[in-house]
């Protein structure tokens, strides 16, 4: 069985190779280690191997790990799961990024609850890129209003867009989904130059990071390729 350190090495090489192949700046793609269902001990191993950014989906589970790893002040916590509006306070105080924001009510709460001593929370708006009604994420046509409103909130910095495309698509359809997200961001940057840096595309997972990087990903969210297969959640 390969270790977490070995896996991080291979994923990092995959990212470097894909970045080079796409003709992009070395270092322009960051690795978010998705650590849902993983133990604090496994995260500790990843930190020892040099990993800093971790993505968590479930708030309660995340808070337990944040507490258990509070001695590792170098960790950067990213929230990437569905957000219940009554749980925003803890997200606003414990995380530095949220990739899964998709509605204004939650945005307002996160901004109000972000402590003034902390830098603004970095935000990616999650977009439902394949129009699946069941999944979370806003519809692309809701983005202009969301951007206009959220850019006024002092506790948040608008960094970009996130999507989880339907993994059952063909490779070319998947590539098209990533490209659509990248073009959407480009358009928003032109239309709303004052809204925030809008420099971030959170897209690509263990199985498709090369395609996502070719289409402009700046954060790839990698679980399985770093920590191994997840056992089904009981
Ligand atoms: C679980 C998860 C990932 C990581 O998926 P892998 O296929 O294990 O790399 C990425 N993004 C989100 C939002 C996830 O929930």
C-alpha 57 to ligand 1 mean position (Å) = 9
**Which residue has the least CA distance to atom 11 on ligand 1?**
221
Atom 6 of ligand 1, residue of closest alpha carbon: 223
Residues sharing a CB contact under 8 Å with residue 176, sequence separation 6 or more, in sequence order: none
pLDDT of residue 233: 58
Distance of CA 80 from the midpoint of ligand 1 (Å): 9
Domain range for 75: 4-227
Give me the number of domains the chain comprises. 1
pLDDT of res. 1:
58
Query: What pLDDT, in 10s, does the model give residues 87-104?
Result: 999 999 999 999 999 999
> What's the CA-to-centroid distance between 45 and ligand 1, angstroms?
19
**Domain assignment present for 17:** yes
Residue partners of 206: CB distance under 8 A and separation at least 6: 222, 223, 224, 225, 226
Predicted pLDDT at 26: 97
Q: How far is the CA of 205 from the centre of ligand 1 (A)?
A: 6
List the one residue out of 22, 94, 51, 96 whose CA is nearest residue 225. Answer: 51
Domain presence at residue 57? yes
What lines the ligand 1 site, CB under 6 Å? 34, 36, 57, 80, 164, 205-207, 221-225
Residue range 21-70, pLDDT digits in tens = 999 999 999 999 999 999 999 999 999 999 999 999 999 999 999 999 99
Instruction: Give the pLDDT confidence score for residue 234 in this predicted structure.
Output: 45
Identify whether 72 is part of a domain. Answer: yes
Any idea what the CATH number is for the domain that residue 59 is in?
3.20.20.10
**pLDDT, the chain, mean:** 96
Is the separation of the CB atoms in 126 and 102 below 8 Å?
A: yes
Low-confidence stretches of the chain (pLDDT < 70) are 1, 133-135, 233-234
Does residue 154 lie within any of the structural domains?
Answer: yes
Residues contacting 53, CB < 8 A, separation 6+: 30, 31, 32, 33, 75, 76, 78, 219
Report yes or no on 208 lying in a domain.
yes
Atom of ligand 1 nearest to the CA of 227: 8
Does residue 232 lie within any of the structural domains?
no
pLDDT of residue 133: 62
């Amino acid at each position: 069985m390969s270790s977490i350190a070995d896996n991080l090495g291979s994923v990092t090489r995959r990212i470097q190779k894909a970045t080079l192949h796409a003709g992009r700046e070395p270092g322009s793609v960051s690795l978010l280690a998705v650590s849902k269902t993983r133990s604090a001990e496994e995260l500790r191993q990843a930190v020892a191997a040099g990993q800093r950014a971790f993505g968590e989906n479930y708030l309660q589970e995340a808070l337990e790990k944040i507490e258990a790893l509070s001695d590792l002040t170098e960790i950067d916590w990213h929230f990437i799961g569905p957000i219940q509006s009554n749980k925003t306070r803890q997200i606003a105080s414990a995380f530095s990024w949220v990739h899964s924001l998709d509605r204004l009510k939650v945005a307002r709460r996160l901004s109000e609850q972000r402590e003034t001593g902390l830098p603004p929370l970095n935000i990616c708006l999650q977009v439902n890129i394949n129009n699946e009604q069941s999944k979370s994420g806003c519809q692309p046509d809701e983005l202009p209003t969301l951007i206009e409103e959220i850019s006024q909130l002092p506790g948040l910095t608008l960094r970009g867009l996130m999507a989880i495309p339907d993994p059952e698509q063909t490779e070319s359809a998947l590539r098209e989904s990533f490209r659509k997200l990248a073009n959407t961001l480009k358009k928003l940057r032109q239309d709303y130059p004052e809204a925030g840096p809008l420099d971030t595309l959170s897209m690509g997972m263990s199985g498709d990071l090369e395609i996502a990087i070719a289409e402009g990903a700046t954060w790839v969210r990698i679980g399985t390729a770093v920590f191994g297969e997840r056992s089904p959640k009981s």
